[in-house]
Amino acid sequence: MNDSALITVAAEQRRNLVGLDRNELKEALVAIGEKPFRAKQLWHWIYHRGATSFGAMTDLGKELRVKLEEQFVIARPAIARQQTSTDGTRKWLFHFADGQKAETVFIPEEDRGAVCISSQVGCTLTCRFCHTGTQRLVRNLKAPEIVGQFMAARDSYGEWPTPLDERRMLSNIVMMGMGEPLYNFDEVAKALKIIMAEDGIALGKRRITLSTAGVVPEIERCGRELGVNLAISLHAPDDDTRSAIMPINKKYPLKDLMAAVRNYPGLTNARRVTFEYVMLKGVNDSLAHARALTKLVAGIPCKFNLIPFNPWPGATYECPDDATVQAFADLLATAGFTAPIRTPRGRDILAACGQLRTDSERRSAKEQRLRDAEERTRAQATRAEKEHADT
Ligand code: SAH
């Protein structure tokens, strides 16, 4: 496990080109008196080659390169911290221009791997079992910050220029980091379109999964506009249980959620929806729950992901024992569903589900306590000096 030190972000006046779509890139060039066709060249350098400076763009004239350098930058979010787990999982804490931070995780498999990307700083959902839910929402991330997370992860592994899909190590994206992506749909959609676009990062839509707690009105649009894979954080087979752990269920109950899932554009047996199911001891882990689940999803092309609850300090839930989780999985399998039990990755660096940003927050809290203690000591010393002077 390694740990990199916090770096500071310098004030940058020049406009960042990362996160601009094709039209915006054209407009930015026209605004400095250049021809729109230059956008094609720049797009290739930025998103296919992963260039971080204009000097490297050898098919552009020297004068143009200097001009671009004066006006623009090609920047990723700054890395405040990077940690690599003993199991290979890597986590970055990114530091955005306004000082806000969000985390990204890379989960490597044998010859591929998924990058788990954040869509918001904090979250408004307050799911009871999720640590991010205890942090208030600070803000939505903008498209450049979402695209930037993936590009910075690719930088970290030197995966430029963009390899063919089959050769990629950073082969998949899951929108399962901090935040609810469908509460920030416009920026998430813009970012994913840039990531999917040809002659750039060009990641296929089949390699991207968007996970939602169930923002029903946006689900159809997600399928129609983006065509990415859908994952639903289901976590319970009935409204009572679900509403108790996920307040969003009161707004969008299971009947509506299931209807939206059934109508998800492009859903077939070859492209199934994933139901995520966090196993919480004594809450949603009985065989009766599993049986109810099979009825709830009957007829939907789907698979399950069973996630043993990841405890965090102060959580009121526990993870069921292995036998309970296994029995639950077996019942689903016998009913004909794919239902793997997920083993948590990156536990030593707190990279597992629902734990993102907690460690850095805890650190800040600790630093704050230290500052408070110093402050108290100083105040005492001043008081003592004053008393001494008075006597
Ligand atoms: N808001 C989106 C995406 C972020 S959460 C959503 O709800 O889908 C990513 C996944 O991690 C969700 O399925 C979430 O329910 C799960 N999760 C959150 N906290 C967890 C915890 N402590 N243990 C296990 N899984 C957790």
**13 or 250, higher pLDDT:** 250
User: Residue with the nearest Cα to atom 8 of ligand 1?
Assistant: 212
For every residue of 99-130, DSSP letters joined together read S-EEEEEEEE-SS-EEEE---EES-S---TT-
Neighbours of 19 (CB within 10 A): 21
Secondary structure letter of residue 311 according to DSSP: -
In terms of residues, how long is the chain?
391
Query: From the alpha carbon of 212, which atom of ligand 1 is closest?
Result: 8
Neighbours of 344 (CB within 10 A): 16
Kind and range of the H or E run holding 251: helix 248-251
Confidence band of 3 (pLDDT split at 50, 70, 90): very low
In this prediction, residue 372 carries a pLDDT of: 55
What spacing in Å lies between the alpha carbon of 2 and ligand 1's midpoint?
A: 26
What spacing in Å lies between the alpha carbon of 341 and ligand 1's midpoint?
A: 15
Both tokens assigned to 341: 């039990």
In this prediction, residue 386 carries a pLDDT of: 57
Catalytic residue among 116, 123, 222, 353: 353
Cα of first residue to Cα of last residue in the chain, in angstroms, is 56
3-state secondary structure 325-391: HHHHHHHHHHCCCCCCECCCCCHHHCCCCCCCCHHHHHHHHHHHHHHHHHHHHHHHHHHHHHHHHHC
Q: How far is CA 173 from CA 67, 116, 153, 221, 249, in A?
A: 35, 6, 11, 19, 26
Q: Which domains does the chain have, with CATH numbers?
A: 1-75 (1.10.150.530), 78-349 (3.20.20.70)
Mutate to test the pocket of ligand 1, among 127, 135, 137 (most ligand atoms within 8 A of CB): 127
pLDDT digits (tens, 9 = 90+) for 252-309: 999 999 999 999 999 999 999 999 999 999 999 999 999 999 999 999 999 999 999 9
Catalytic residue among 34, 103, 145, 180: 103
In this prediction, residue 1 carries a pLDDT of: 46
Query: From the alpha carbon of 233, which atom of ligand 1 is closest?
Result: 13
Q: Is 103 a catalytic residue?
A: yes
> Phi and psi dihedrals of 235, rounded to 5?
65, -5
Q: How far is CA 308 from CA 134, 274, 320, 331, in A?
A: 19, 16, 7, 16
**384 or 248, higher pLDDT:** 248
Q: Is the pLDDT of residue 81 over 80?
A: yes
Confidence band of 5 (pLDDT split at 50, 70, 90): very low
